[in-house]
Homo-oligomer: A and B are copies of this chain.
């Protein structure tokens, strides 16, 4: 039966009594109340600008403190997913290559494949990018895709490494695609935002503002020709992003930074709970520095994920979906008491097999 574990999509959207899901990257904390306040009086229904509402793009400039971001260089998308897809489609042709670091977010390889792009893999050590390996492999690639903090490892890259990659890509004329959807969820330092004319930044309202189901993300590039190509494709592939969700996103951006910081502290406490809990079970894992995932090594991962689900109502994700077959991924986007209940069930399972 474990052959049913084909991809994470089998677990997405499942609702089931008594289930503890360490599966999806869906924050349980609700979005800012303000996004609902505009609903009762909402009446618009017409097509919007393909690029996204001007007011939203203007508000997003505050997210880019270290650069002078231009509102006309954002494209509002159906989540970070569409932003990444549009980026691939805008900069690559079939058989081009993109360098990604493993373990990687599970969508990258299939999305590259859907665009006939070949992934080139650089293995991380302890979740850290090895710059020597990047230096070797980047030559054959059109771009490098950086995801720090990383899903699934929860690790962040050292600022020194990120600066080296910035310089390397600039010198060689390579594009950096920087997927920073967890930028507001770092426990060890401030975010270092990759920047420069060769950087395409990807972000979303799903993690910071819990707006997953509304599918609001964006891409940003200083390079107007890339922005134009992305808009040209989106004109035909999906048109404007949902106009109401964009208005809700404008409200979300009014959230005080102090509230985002309070959330971060709650995430950090959960991180501590699950990290200690899994350590106490004797599992080998990295301490998460950002995002909300732990990625322990485990024996018989396929059997473990299946039996935890079928016999203990616990969802976890297979490490092989992320390029790491001897691990499993647990999201800790759950209340602490649910995390603790999940840990008890995992302990029970481990002790009885």
* Contact present for B235 and A215 (CB under 8 Å): no
The reply to whether the CB of A46 lies closer than 8 angstroms to some CB of chain B is yes
Flag A20-61 by CB within 8 Å of B: 1 or 0 each.
Answer: 000010100011000010011011111111100000000000
Chain B residues whose CB sits within 8 angstroms of the CB of A47 once the complex forms: 12-13, 24, 26, 212-213
* Contact present for A36 and B42 (CB under 8 Å): yes
- A49, B10: Cα distance in complex, Å: 9
- A85, B238: Cα distance in complex, Å: 8
Do A7 and B235 contact each other (CB < 8 Å), given the known contacts A47-B13, A49-B13, A114-B89?
Answer: yes
Chain B residues whose CB sits within 8 angstroms of the CB of A150 once the complex forms: none
The reply to whether the CB of A9 lies closer than 8 angstroms to some CB of chain B is yes
Chain B residues whose CB sits within 8 angstroms of the CB of A107 once the complex forms: 235-236
* Contact present for A214 and B242 (CB under 8 Å): yes
Chain multiplicity (copies) = 2
- A12, B233: Cα distance in complex, Å: 14
Interface size class, chain A: 35 or more
A-B contact pairs, 19 of them (CB 8 A): A9-B50, A9-B232, A12-B240, A13-B49, A13-B50, A31-B45, A39-B42, A44-B213, A78-B238, A78-B239, A79-B238, A82-B238, A85-B238, A94-B94, A114-B233, A213-B240, A213-B244, A242-B244, A245-B245
- A312, B232: Cα distance in complex, Å: 27
* Contact present for B45 and A212 (CB under 8 Å): yes
Instruction: Name 14 extra pairs, CB < 8 A, besides A31-B45, A39-B42.
Output: A12-B235, A12-B239, A36-B43, A40-B40, A45-B214, A46-B212, A47-B213, A48-B213, A78-B238, A85-B236, A85-B238, A94-B116, A110-B232, A215-B240
The reply to whether the CB of A334 lies closer than 8 angstroms to some CB of chain B is no
* Contact present for B82 and A46 (CB under 8 Å): no
Flag A163-177 by CB within 8 Å of B: 1 or 0 each.
Answer: 000000000000000
- A207, B237: Cα distance in complex, Å: 17
Chain B residues whose CB sits within 8 angstroms of the CB of A241 once the complex forms: 78, 215
The reply to whether the CB of A283 lies closer than 8 angstroms to some CB of chain B is no
Q: Which positions 72-126 of chain A face chain B at CB distance < 8 Å? A: 78-79, 81-82, 85, 89, 93-94, 107, 110-111, 114, 116
* Contact present for B36 and A239 (CB under 8 Å): no
Q: Sorted from nearest, which 10 A-B pairs have the closest CB atoms?
A: A13-B49, A213-B243, A107-B236, A39-B39, A40-B40, A78-B238, A9-B235, A242-B242, A111-B236, A85-B237
Q: Which positions 228-261 of chain A face chain B at CB distance < 8 Å? A: 231-233, 235-245
The reply to whether the CB of A181 lies closer than 8 angstroms to some CB of chain B is no
- A240, B211: Cα distance in complex, Å: 12
Contact of A82 (CB < 8 Å), options: B7, B94, B212, B237: B237
